[in-house]
Structure 1
Amino acid sequence: MQQAARDRAGTADKIFEPVVKPLAGAIGYVAVPGFSGGDDAGRDAFARGIVERIAARAPSASAGWIVDLRGNSGGTMWPMLAGLRPLLGASEIGGNVSAPGQPMRRWRPEQLMPNAATWPQPDLRAAKVAVLIGPRTSSSGEAVAIAFSGRARTRSFGQPSDGRSTSNETIALPDGGALLLTTAVFADRSGKLFGGRIEPDVVVPAGDGDGNSDASDPALAAAQVWLASDE
């Protein structure tokens, strides 16, 4: 309910500012925070800022990209997905499934953020991408990680996520309370269902997770090694 109030007020919350920077070995690094609330202009500014910074770094990131979601606790997933559109592409990237055997309700960010399709941006769909996840990757942050699941030339590193890879609906009660119901589970572009924790492709001991290239961040180091390899 507090989230709904923030949305009506047009205010936006970010856990931290998005980070886009170069790393050694011609690698680009993107850390995407959780993002909540905001009006259309605020959501566009958040997403377009990530797109523009990725575009600026793309010429020097020939080895690939690291997408760090370890600090992403969720919120509104569409601006996050739109910001990563250069890497994800414009095709369907996942969706919600309400019950086994039911059709997937596909995610297409441009349906809710139509301006994203008009922003100048590089086509990085063929780039190698290492996705970093951990126990603080939650809810819509897990949706972003799932959007990369099944993508070619992609591998995830780190620790299992928080385990809230579901769609929820808030139902107002007559006494003024609210009931939060899980109505669907997330699925990746291939139709693989989630609903709980996301297990990384490569489990790496937890470190500081500060985005620095040193021994305090084993997941980052493992991702860099893979991006530099011929795998």
Structure 2
Amino acid sequence: MEYGALAIAELDKGIHAQGPQWESQRAAALDRFEAAESYEELYGLMSQLASGAGGEHSSFVPAPIADTSRAQYAPGARFAKPTVTSSQGVTTIALPAFLGTEQASIEEYAEPTIESIRAAVPNTSCGWILDLRANRGGNAYAMLAAVGPLLDDGDIVGIRTKAGAETWLRSDDGAVDNPLYETIEAGFTVDGPVAVLTSSSTLSAGEFVATAFQGQADTTRVGKPTGGFTTSNETLTLPDGSLLIVTTGWYLDRTGRLYDEALIPDIVAPYTSAPEEADAWLRATCRDQ
């Protein structure tokens, strides 16, 4: 059935989709696809295939669950959005997880954040805190668009596939380009140090955002090691609306370093005190002191 052909073509891109074990799993799956009379009877198999092809960061989301997520992050829905707050020369941006995929939803998530950052510039003499501690992932492009003004121009973060091909995202005047969506323009960048907060709950796309700041001047990471899902996923929407999420590559920071494990903070701090440690780091070199 077409469902199986589409799935196998995507699964073959997985970082573990090679060798005798995968070939055996793949062949058995093709037989199951041919015999299947409904999509639903393949759901368990699809979960097994996702794990086999891509590892623990890959997954299969059945149509009913995928439909719920799409509704939760549809344009106009009341999903969590970033917050921007300033206090005594330090501005904190809390960046929540975001699973939206529609351009309008991405704009609802990112554009107000960009404007709040712009408004905060006059009140930010000491620096910026980017709080990713509770960011469990989703759409990395939306998240990077929201905080684009904090990123230096140039290549900021990349992905390397198992075949060695590399794809890079660039930032230009606060706008981060991407291969899937319309670029959200900012028209400005900020000048100041950035402290990125992480925890074990910082996962996947949250880790991608943290990686984008790795190697940038006047930037440090504060908190606990991340969850260790520093691999890139592709998402395929299948004919019934289910989502096949396959890990196809690894993160690269702007220096070209490849990541396949947790991101380790420069300053280790408990979850609750990480903001205070970041604030202290920023104030140590604050130009207003």
- TM-score normalised according to structure 2 size: 0.66
Q: CA deviation at 1:90?
A: 4.2
Structure 2 Cα separation of the partners of residues 68 and 10 of structure 1: 21
Give 1:147 shift. Answer: 0.6
In the superposition, the TM-score normalised over structure 1's length comes to: 0.82
Give the counterpart of 2:148 among 85, 104, 110. 85
Deviates more, 1:192-201 or 1:137-146: 192-201
- Per-residue CA distance 1:156-189 (angstroms, 9 max, x = gap): 0000111111112457899x99765321111111
Structure 1 gaps of 5+ residues are 208-217
Q: Give the unaligned 5+ runs of structure 2.
A: 1-60, 171-175
- Per the alignment, residue 230 of structure 1 pairs with 285
Give, as a single letter, the amino acid of the residue that structure 2 aligns with 1:189. Answer: R
What is the root-mean-square deviation of aligned Cα atoms in Å? 2.9
Tell me the residue number matched to 1:213. none
Structure 1 residues 152 and 180 mapped into 2: Cα distance closer, same or farther (>3 Å)? same
**Counterpart AA for 1:204:** A
Superposition deviation, residue 205 in structure 1: 2.5
Secondary structure in structure 2 of the residue aligned to 1:107:
strand
Paired positions, count:
216
1:113 deviation in Å?
Answer: 4.2
What are the superposed Cα offsets for residues 90-148 of structure 1, whole Å, 9 maximum, x if unpaired? 42211111138x2421123323444422x44x321x31000000011101010001010
Higher helix proportion (structure 1 or 2): 2
Residue of structure 2 in register with 1:104 after alignment: 166
Q: CA deviation at 1:45?
A: 2.0
Larger radius of gyration: 2
SS at match of 1:48: helix
In percent, how many aligned pairs have the same letter?
34
Alpha-carbon distance between aligned partners in 2 of 1:188 and 1:44, rounded to the nearest angstrom: 25
Amino acid in the other structure paired with 1:147? A
Q: CA deviation at 1:58?
A: 0.8
Distance 1:162 1:110, change over 3 A: same
Q: What corresponds to 1:75 in structure 2?
A: 138
Distance in 1, matches of 2:86 and 2:236, equals 44
Report if the CA contact (8 A) 1:15-1:34 is conserved. Answer: no
Q: Following the alignment from structure 1 to structure 2, what is the Cα–Cα distance between the partners of residues 206 and 171?
A: 35
Matches of 1:177 and 1:47, distance apart in 2: 26
2:270 counterpart letter in structure 1? P
